[in-house]
Amino acid sequence: MRKITQFRPGGSLVLVLFAVYMLVPLLATLNFSLTLGENYTTVAYEKLLRNEALFEALWHSLLLATLTVLGSLILTLPTLYWVQLKLPQAKPLLEFFTLLPFIVPPIVMALGLIRIYSSGPFPITGTPQILVFSYMMVSLPFMFRAIDNALQSIDTHTLTEAAQSLGAGTFTTLRYIIIPNILPGIVSGSLLVFSSALAEFALANLLVGSAWTTFPVFVSNVGRADGRQAAALAVISFVITWLVSITILWSANRAPGQNNISLNR
Amino acid sequence: MSFLVLNQLKKAFGTALAVDNFELEVAKGELVTFLGPSGCGKSTTLRIIAGFETCDGGQIWMNQQEITHLPANRRKIGMVFQSYALFPNMTVAENIGFGLKLAKEKPPIIKKRVNEMLSLIRLEVLAQRYPHQISGGQAQRVALARALAPQPQLLLLDEPLSALDALIRRSLRAEIRQIQQQLGITTIFVTHDQEEALSLSDRIVVMNQGRIEQIGTPFEIYNYPTTNFVASFIGTLNMLPARVTNAAKGEINLGGHTVRVAGPLSQSDNTEITLALRPENLKIVEVEEEGLSATENFVHAKVKEVSLLGAVVRVRLSLAEVLLELDMFNSRHLTLPVPGAEVKLSFPIDSGLILTKPNTTIP
Ligand SMILES: Nc1ncnc2c1ncn2[C@@H]1O[C@H](COP(=O)(O)OP(=O)(O)OP(=O)(O)O)[C@@H](O)[C@H]1O
Ligand SMILES: [Mg+2]
């Protein structure tokens, strides 16, 4: 026990190097967005804040990210729970599916999606809907891994049977037993999905483009005209992601009975 | 009709039969244990009763109603697991109250009932602890209280004591039996520990390879086993090769001695058989008492080894080339037999069981 509390210079050095590596690009971006030649100026931010398109793009992206997280949760959580309980043989197949988005390059995926959804029963190319669905696909591995790990770290099978013997149906068991006990996994999966959806550019640009501008597409458009504004946008988007993360983590920690779980892990 | 009736239950996993033609009737308030070696189908049978496993054939009746196809969450059957399975996100009190909450009881009623259960298991002080903050023995008592709180019709326990150390195991065993009798709840207890089964059951169901070998009280199972398997699974047993010499008079040849067993025997003369004798039925005697020769057998044997097990001294002997074990009570005035010494053994003629082929019923 004593070793853990001891000051270890090696460990601190690693931590400092890590912080430098992460912070330097951010600080450089911040610096660039605030300078014009030799002088400090906030003109880039002022221009941006007067641009209504920014807020529209931001709103689009936040909406998109939220819907992606919800859709992904609704799809992944019950499926994994069910597979873990009743169909463990299907697990390797699921894992293969979740790796597909990593194997197929975004450009290929975009072309495929356009081909399928330009006509036929679901002509949704160019609409925000196609982005939600394709983001759910692309971010599936994050949600899948996080929830799968969490489900494996508790005795899902026996806990479910214990709940059933006390009168709980499947929904009640999920709501009161499974979800509270895998909340850390749900939170970290959601965070990953949320931030990846917020930052996605290639699919948004190819599938929808200026028909329904998302934040990264907006950043790219602005960047072509004014690099300083683009840097300011990067800073803004970092702050937003950071705020959202803090909010989710904070609300998860306030959930009843949750403190003990994070201590337990 | 009995409170719980299991009628010809069957379950196969692939081609392997896990439960085969399981038939049992349990009276209200009775504690029945399923006893048998690992993999004999105890848990599977219990899980079929609980509704966690479907059966391939047969019916389950509880309280005059057929529940064979009722989902587990509507059977009103409490279950205690080997791994406790307490909900980690809930306190001890919340765990115990969970079943009542699902039954939509009012909060004051839940609170009252939780307190009753906590005092039943004597853990009032731990009400606000989380499962990871209590010991294994305490966790299993909480699991018992949680299962009992909604007043189930039937309580099932699957090796509830296997994860605990010997001392706790024994005290909790007594506590479970006491609570079971106090509440009068019909209970099925699964174990592979014969001492556990013998000490707490009203009746024992001995299982082997998915089938029932024998159903009986602990006394019947121990003293009157009806199959070779039960005889050799419960307690220690000397299995001695012998040959029938006079079936009508119940005489057999054991290592050159003619001994008598409760006859007449159904085997014909010269059949090779196995004589099963419990170590505690054998005695070392000084002289052959004439008056006893009507009820006792006397044979000569040689002491090979003496080991002190505590309350009991176990003596290994050889009778011609046949090896056997004898148990005698330890006491301070006991003269221990000396290895190498010739001694005279006696055993009651009705204490031996005649076994023929393995796994056949004893006539
Ligand atoms: N889900 C399953 N799939 C396939 N086979 C199973 C399954 N569950 C049990 N079995 C098999 O059924 C047989 C009976 O298993 P069961 O768990 O009922 O034994 P048990 O008597 O409880 O043993 P133990 O004392 O080791 O718990 C075993 O051969 C086991 O391998
Ligand atoms: Mg078992």
Residue A120 Cα to chain centre, angstroms: 30
List the end-to-end C-alpha distance of chain B, in Å, as a whole number.
Answer: 30
**Ligand 1 pocket check: which of B11, B33, B34, B44 to mutate, most ligand atoms within 8 Å of Cβ?**
B44
Domain boundary assignment for chain A: 12-41, 51-257
A260·B89 Cβ contact <8 A? yes
Residues of chain B contacting residue A177, judged by C-beta atoms under 8 Å apart: 87, 89
Q: Is B75 in the pocket of ligand 1 (CB under 6 A)?
A: no
Tokens 């219990």 sit at which residue? B46
What is residue A257's predicted lDDT score, i.e. its pLDDT?
46
**3-class DSSP assignment, residue B77:** strand
Q: Is B172 in the pocket of ligand 1 (CB under 6 A)?
A: no
**Average pLDDT of the segment spanning A189-200:** 90
Give the nearest partner residue to A165 out of B50, B87, B90, using CB atoms: B50
Tokens 């090896």 sit at which residue? B323
Q: What is the tens place of the pLDDT at every residue in A107-134?
A: 888 888 888 888 878 888 888 889 999 9
| pLDDT higher than threshold 70 for residue A254 | no
CATH class for the domain made up of A51-257: mainly alpha
What is residue B291's predicted lDDT score, i.e. its pLDDT?
58
Give the nearest partner residue to B73 out of A159, A168, A264, using CB atoms: A168
Shortest-distance atom of ligand 1 to CA B19: 14
Surface of A (237-256) touching B: CB under 8 A:
256
Beta-carbon contacts of B188 under 8 Å, excluding residues fewer than 6 positions away, are B4, B26, B31, B32, B33, B34, B46, B49, B154, B155, B156, B157
**Ligand 1 pocket check: which of B42, B156, B192 to mutate, most ligand atoms within 8 Å of Cβ?**
B42
Nearest to A166 by CA among B352, B155, B241: B155
What is residue B249's predicted lDDT score, i.e. its pLDDT?
83
Which residue CA neighbors atom 27 of ligand 1 most closely?
Answer: B38
What is residue B2's predicted lDDT score, i.e. its pLDDT?
92
Q: What is the tens place of the pLDDT at every residue in B29-88?
A: 999 999 999 999 999 999 999 999 999 999 999 999 999 999 999 999 999 999 999 999
**Average pLDDT of the segment spanning A30-40:** 86
* CB B148 within 8 Å of CB B185: yes
What is residue B362's predicted lDDT score, i.e. its pLDDT?
53
B83·A181 Cβ contact <8 A? no
What is residue A116's predicted lDDT score, i.e. its pLDDT?
86
Residues of chain A contacting residue B75, judged by C-beta atoms under 8 Å apart: 165
Q: How far is CA A156 from CA A89, A252, A254, B102, B168, in A?
A: 16, 21, 23, 19, 27
Domain boundary assignment for chain B: 2-232, 238-355
Question: Which of B53, B54, B73 has the highest number of chain A CBs within 10 A, making it the mutation to test binding with A?
Answer: B73
Check the CA dihedral A158-A159-A164-A165 and report its sign. positive
What is residue A7's predicted lDDT score, i.e. its pLDDT?
65
The DSSP code sequence of A188-224 is HHHHHHHHHHHH--HHHHHHTGGGG--HHHHHHHHHH
Q: Is B13 in the pocket of ligand 1 (CB under 6 A)?
A: yes
ipTM, two decimals, is 0.85
B87·A165 Cβ contact <8 A? no
A177·B89 Cβ contact <8 A? yes
Surface of B (188-227) touching A: CB under 8 A:
none
Q: What percent of chain A has pLDDT over 90?
A: 42
Q: What is the tens place of the pLDDT at every residue in A45-74?
A: 888 889 898 899 989 999 999 999 999 999
Rounded average pLDDT per 10-residue block, chain B, 363 residues = 94 93 96 96 96 95 96 96 96 97 96 96 95 95 97 96 92 94 97 94 96 96 89 87 86 86 81 87 78 78 91 90 89 89 89 66 50
| pLDDT higher than threshold 70 for residue A34 | yes
What is residue A5's predicted lDDT score, i.e. its pLDDT?
58
Q: What percent of chain A has pLDDT over 70?
A: 92
**Residue B272 bridge partners (DSSP):** B243
Q: What is the tens place of the pLDDT at every residue in A198-217?
A: 889 989 998 888 889 999 99
Residue B270 Cα to chain centre, angstroms: 36
**3-class DSSP assignment, residue A133:** helix
CATH number (3.30.1360.170, 3.40.50.300, 1.10.540.10, 3.40.50.720) of B2-232 reads 3.40.50.300
Q: What is the CATH number of domain B238-355?
A: 2.40.50.100
For residues A166, A172, A176, A177, the Cα torsion angle rounded to the nearest 10 degrees is 60
* CB B98 within 8 Å of CB A184: no
How many residues would you count in chain A? 265
What is residue B358's predicted lDDT score, i.e. its pLDDT?
44
What is residue B357's predicted lDDT score, i.e. its pLDDT?
53
pLDDT bin (cut points 50, 70, 90) of residue A238 is confident
What is residue B157's predicted lDDT score, i.e. its pLDDT?
97
Q: What is the tens place of the pLDDT at every residue in A129-157?
A: 899 999 999 998 999 999 999 999 999 99
| pLDDT higher than threshold 50 for residue A2 | no
Residues of chain B contacting residue A176, judged by C-beta atoms under 8 Å apart: 87, 98
Residues of chain B contacting residue A260, judged by C-beta atoms under 8 Å apart: 88-89, 130, 132
